[in-house]
Amino acid sequence: MKKGVIILGSSSSDGNTYKSAAYFSDRSGFPIIDLKSKKIGQFDYDFANSDDDFLPLIREIVDNYDILIFATPVYWYSMSGIMKKFFDRISDVLKIEKETGRKLNGKEMGVISCSWGPGLKDGFYMPFVESANYLKMNYLGQIHSWTVNDDVDEEVKSKMDAFIEKIS
């Protein structure tokens, strides 16, 4: 059985994106890693941030999980800054820790996005899809989520349940 993890990239550790990730986690058994709780510096061509939390975190992820579900709010039509920083730092394992980077090959990736409602601009998922392609990961798809009365929308729950069934 494949093991999965949810990588939460939100400025709010208990906000709406977390609620969607928690629903997914409860149904799938995938633990949540909250990027906000980690010290991850921005990408630097001199790899000056190699002593922060990124390298130990990415090692933990690639050594223990087959399925990576990225959960991000939609900020200005794009993934959150915290999530973008995480993706930028993948360059570290492609340049200075290549063995770790090679372990991404064959992993599976999915995305949970979250905003105020069901609308989402075309192209939002392109950075995830193309990153999966570049890293030779299998892109599983995505679910766009939102909350109603402080709870994950019923339509979203149904889509998450079907997605979890598909990847199980």
Sign of the torsion angle spanned by Cα atoms 132, 137, 139, 145: negative
Does an H or E element contain 89, and which?
Answer: helix 81-95
DSSP result, 103-140: TTTT-EEEEEEE-SSS---TTTTHHHHHHHHHTTPEEE
pLDDT the model gives residue 168: 85
pLDDT at residue 56 tops 70: yes
pLDDT the model gives residue 18: 98
At residue 21 the predicted structure's pLDDT band, cuts being 50, 70 and 90, is very high
Does an H or E element contain 38, and which?
Answer: none
Which domains are delineated in the chain? Answer: 4-167 (3.40.50.360)
pLDDT tens sequence across 135-154: 999 999 999 999 999 999 99
